[in-house]
Amino acid sequence: MEPAAGSHMLADWPASYEALLRKHLPFLEPGRALAPDASLTGLGLASLETVALLLDIEEQFNVEIPDELLTQETFETPVSLWQVITTQRVPARGAEPPVTEPRRQ
């Protein structure tokens, strides 16, 4: 599936998030831009892959996403999922502050 036509939203997430997301999007060709408002389902995020992605996100970003936020709306687009991650992201006690990563646009 093509990214949504007329997409003009800007991606504002670390490269590690996009790299992780790409692992779970079989229909997104390498090198092709990931539009923030692209349909994750359209890019191949199947039901089971959603679970694997969730577990990867929680491990990599040190975040716990409550079950009630595991909704269709959360997993609609890259940006909707990233917004949930950022709202839930709390550094673990005693953990190093998160490394600032280069952002892409």
Q: Which positions touch another protein (CB under 8 A)?
A: 47-48, 50-52, 54-55, 64, 67-68, 70-75
- 58-67, long-range: CB within 8 Å, 24+ apart, which pairs? 60/16, 60/20, 61/17, 61/85, 61/89, 62/89, 62/91, 62/92, 62/95, 62/98, 63/88, 63/89, 63/90, 64/88
**Residue with smaller CB distance to another protein, 2 or 59:** 59
CB of 23 to another protein, least distance (A): 13
CB of 31 to another protein, least distance (A): 25
**Residue with smaller CB distance to another protein, 12 or 64:** 64
CB of 102 to another protein, least distance (A): 30
**Residue with smaller CB distance to another protein, 10 or 46:** 46
